[in-house]
Chains A and B, each alone.
Chain A
């Protein structure tokens, strides 16, 4: 223990520096009750003058007088009243080292430099790159301008050239057409589409293909799902009752339609945050505000007769709105400022509660624990027209333009209201607070004011965040690999100038058109590179940060499922409307709280709609979704995880869905390719993989079919029955050469659905 003593004596010997040694102690232990927002006992310890002035009970710091400095005595628990600071339950006691430092500081004269302010650290944080204005950089010079199809390529190539890397060769047309179909519309190209593109010699063949796919209605379903991940969409509330959110699907449909219509992103944001308050508000824009309500709700507590439970849940709701809005649109994490100033970013509890006050006026229509839908129309329409003429929708309402006051809550505790706060945006992101509009006759217009600031062209975050999300949707990773955190702990952008160029271009030239941005990305040569691996390059940039090849990545669960349906010929392209219920194993529903009512009966045609229309019950996500890395619905999800684990293989080999689609796929082959095995195999490859089989593959598959058919006839199959009995892929009776060929073809289809090539884009 000699070392500890030595340390101590060294500490007392050295000169204490306030900012280095003392401020951190005060911040850690005292500021949550004695600083800008809260001054318990009238004491404030973040400002020099006020700290020395002391609190209600007099001075607390007396230079060169340890005994007389109550600050020191209180943290040591030596106060005459027997109190200790921080109080029990509100923080841990100071360590011996910390106390020693305070004592030494007081002993040395309690030097507190005059120019130090609490904003000092914030000032430093504000220098963070993502908080700087977006400026349009010049295109960098490249050695090989011929490679550059558009500005994106300039930035990417320049990055490669400075590191002596060259971009991978272009992908083949066949691979490109499959890539862009799966990426843009989420289903594989038909053999005819592949052929058309392969034979299209026109120089603008690729541009036309891009445009065709961007205008397909399935594009909104594919990209809409990315958006639904971000906004924690589901059809139920979660928690005990897990009650239904009536007509929540109208918000899901709004998203799909907005993307298909290419609604400018600034309007898309305005409508989701304040669609009832925007100029020209209408049914659609009001439905958009479902964004704020589709998160989880603990109805048991929210509708409790116990006020404390109700209030606590109310603040959880407000937190959900504040956190989701800031993370989705701004890429900043405000949630932790609920209880204390943000540790790493310049966001304070005051910033947080200022945002709370923006959403405070909203109320939830519900009757006890049951959620209610309301007529989807702007409030002014409801005054003059019969409400029944409007469709029902799921969103919050502002019932009065005069909302209640909002207080900062000390340590997030509703029983400890602090100072009053007014609507405002995070101070570190603006030089001057934007003007918040006055209420009109119907609503407070606070959300409208917030939305206008979010989409203002001077906002440093909004455009950067969305172009990065669009980039991620095409390349698997964003240019910033922490797409929902652009704060000080974010990953550095791999191509900072490209990010800024895109953000600037998106606002000023593309006029916030998402489809223009998709088009720009997909017509770049960067997007059309091959996936070719290069071991030398991999040693230098294994994560492909510099984009020396097109990244190879596994398809999302929705694309896998939709592709199987498309290939088997069962895909039902009906859009919109109430959600459908995929078949789930009876075994799985038993884990539900209310096993009998967890799920609705299976209707195959309806359940063969695209996966985005599947009913999302928060306490019961279909096991196939779950195992294939579907997102968590509790909060905004920035990117799907990609795991490769054995239960996925079990699901895709033995699961009911895959076996059912394999059966349909085989039937389709017989129907459309005729009885010859070669033709069936070739057609199967074309449908599933967008290419004919190579000779070796054809032979192996043919052998497999022959042996399987023979074994079928020899009675090799198990005759045991499953209690569920509903399996499609079961041996047909009677055993003839014909039923045998059908059986073996089904087994082959099952194998094709499990191929790596089927679930990975090239």
Chain B
């Protein structure tokens, strides 16, 4: 590997000006230059004179860039089940729970979050069956997804550092329970660049009932420049904020205003030769004008066939929203967007099933099951499956005990929970790791959230110990300072 070991030079060369800062001034669009490509170029700063071609160079660069390892996937969809889905009701079958039904948990760990009532061990209300050739256990909550059991790699031994939502969501996204760190999507765009200059490389779609607890911290770029932060896409109405020309201004009028702007800006630039920031800003207006068309076209589902809309469940009220998001995700992936995150649950309506895990999970699973399965079908059909990585999960799991004796709810559990990966580079049809007999604590092949991040980066061709960003004198990593590992069993 000839990847240089002194990565800090990337965002802080001796001259004090960041290469990144230098380049995104000329990119015009969304930060499009991959870190690694910058590293491999000597005399990078001298290219200032070529600034005019920078945007197109950047796009090309993203395609030709090298990574630490051979990348197995190029893009990621993260299905974020906000609130914390119950592992024993979804992908972690625990027959023993029937045996221990009504017993107290005696494993020594403190059950429950923030003083909530602790109940007794309670088996799942949903039935489990071995599915596909692999026989992977999937609960009856997921009839559609179960058909792809042989594609799923369930990690049953996930754990994180907090049983509280907001820091949990932050940790799943940024690796840290404290605000201010860049999220996974930011790291991927920082490391790999984006492949489409007129679309953001990191797109987030939230639940129409509200955002995740803790809000924008979940897609923040933290200490990285704001160009790496997640862009909120709306599945309805105006896709991106301010994408539409103000009501009443015609397209021709907008064009004439832009022409005057360009003419005046050009004259100003002519008197100030050498200031390429100024020409970059002129270009950014042309790109904005183009985006008004391209970004609107992405959300225009009129060209999709009725069969496709049906497949994603757009005609059924319960699946319409998540289905629309999944379909938009496919359209974004096709156009080179690097990281798409789709929230299920937000505001007061989430997977946070304190009162009644049965009806809560039934509802949220029904909203997402068919759409996710549809996206898998569609990606496989369109040849995007091999290099798209799918990630499913929430900020933590739920207790195998009920919340309060004899109640149908379950409390937060960060000691053990399940997530699944599928698609590019993932060995499907298997479960990795295990929880204890009742599904409470991860015991075998324990996988910390940061181990998951390391694994995701690995699948994308990046080494979690080498992908660093200098901040406050330290090379910060997504996987943090503790030793972390790639889960080799996951890899195909």
Contact = CB atoms under 8 A, between A and B. Distances in A.
B435 interface: no
A700 B217 contact: no
Interface string A593-614: 1110000000000000000000
Contact of A644 (B179, B234, B284): B284
Contacts of A750: 257
B24 A755 contact: no
Interface stretch (A100-108, A210-218, A723-731): A723-731
A643 B165 contact: no
Interface residues of B, number: 106
A645 B24 contact: yes
A98 interface: no
A755 B16 contact: no
Contacts of B257: 653, 704, 747, 750-751
A10 interface: no
A643 B226 contact: yes
Nearest to B243: A650
Most A-side CB within 10 Å, residue of B115, B223, B261: B261
A619 B215 contact: yes
B246 interface: yes
B268 A592 contact: no
B175 to A, nearest CB: 14
A732 B230 CA distance: 38
A626 B226 contact: yes
Contacts of A620: 215-216
B383 interface: no
Given A649-B284, A651-B241, A718-B250, A306 B113 contact: yes
Interface string B42-85: 00011010000000000000000000000000000000000000
A635 interface: yes
B273 interface: yes
Given A298-B167, A697-B264, A697-B267, A647 B248 contact: no
B272 A641 contact: no
Contacts of A701: 260, 264
Interface residues of A, number: 114
Interface string B1-38: 00000001000101111000100111111110000000
A229 B14 CA distance: 25
B263 interface: yes
B260 A588 contact: no
A655 B210 contact: no
B214 A238 contact: yes
Contact of A722 (B232, B247, B261, B269): B247
Contact of A543 (B17, B237, B247): B17
A301 B287 contact: no
A711 interface: yes
B164 A635 contact: no
A645 B211 contact: no
Interface stretch (B275-283, B311-319, B367-375, B400-408): B275-283
A301 to B, nearest CB: 5
B179 A708 contact: no
A632 B223 contact: yes
Contacts of B268: 755-757
A534 B48 CA distance: 14
Nearest to A412: B481
A590 B208 contact: yes
A618 B211 contact: no
A91 B482 CA distance: 8
A655 B242 CA distance: 5
B249 interface: yes
Contacts of B110: 306, 308
Q: Is the contact region of chain A dominated by helix, strand, or loop, or is it mixed? A: loop
Most A-side CB within 10 Å, residue of B48, B265, B272, B287: B272
Contacts of B267: 694, 696-697
Contact of B278 (A629, A649, A760): A760
Contacts of B246: 654, 659, 722, 727, 729-730
B222 interface: yes
A244 interface: no
A591 B242 contact: no
A654 B179 contact: no
A644 B284 CA distance: 7
A531 interface: yes
B217 A619 contact: yes
A301 B234 CA distance: 31
Contacts of B282: 756
Contacts of A654: 242-246
A634 interface: yes
B147 interface: no
A531 B272 contact: yes
B215 A646 contact: no
B17 A623 contact: no
Interface in A467-496: 477, 481-482, 484-485, 487, 489-492
A298 B166 contact: yes
Contacts of B166: 239-240, 298, 300
A335 B211 contact: no
Contact of B27 (A339, A645, A718): A645
Contacts of A531: 272, 275
B170 to A, nearest CB: 8
Given A336-B474, A653-B285, A756-B269, A751 B24 contact: no
Interface string A91-113: 11000000000000000000000
A59 B50 CA distance: 65
Contacts of B25: 642-644
Interface in A704-727: 704, 707-708, 711, 716-723, 725, 727
Contacts of B234: 587, 590
Contacts of A542: 15, 45-46, 48
A758 to B, nearest CB: 10
A655 B244 CA distance: 9
Interface string B276-298: 01101110110110011000000
A545 B14 CA distance: 11
A538 interface: yes
A240 B214 contact: yes
A646 B212 contact: no
A316 interface: yes
A496 B113 CA distance: 54
A717 B264 contact: no
Contacts of A641: 21, 225-227
A543 B25 CA distance: 14
Given A531-B272, A594-B210, A722-B247, A304 B277 contact: no
Contact of B165 (A240, A484, A591): A240
Given A552-B275, A646-B198, A720 B247 contact: yes
Most A-side CB within 10 Å, residue of B14, B243, B246, B257: B246
B114 interface: yes
Most B-side CB within 10 Å, residue of A300, A304, A312, A477: A300
Instruction: List the 8 shortest-distance A-B pairs measured between CB atoms, nearest first.
Output: A634-B180, A481-B16, A619-B215, A533-B274, A240-B166, A305-B115, A649-B288, A730-B248
Given A298-B177, A333-B473, A618-B179, 19 more contacts: A91-B483, A298-B167, A301-B162, A306-B163, A345-B473, A489-B8, A491-B12, A538-B274, A593-B215, A619-B215, A629-B225, A632-B220, A635-B180, A644-B281, A649-B288, A717-B253, A722-B246, A729-B248, A730-B246
21 contacts: A300-B167, A304-B114, A336-B474, A336-B481, A344-B473, A484-B472, A534-B274, A543-B15, A545-B16, A585-B242, A587-B241, A593-B347, A618-B217, A650-B240, A650-B288, A659-B246, A718-B247, A722-B246, A751-B264, A756-B265, A759-B281
Interface of B: 8, 12, 14-17, 21, 24-31, 45-46, 48, 110, 113-115, 162-167, 177-180, 198, 200, 206, 208, 210-217, 220-223, 225-227, 229, 231-232, 234, 237-238, 240-250, 252-254, 256-258, 260-261, 263-265, 267-269, 272-275, 277-278, 280-282, 284-285, 287-288, 291-292, 346-348, 470, 472-474, 481, 483
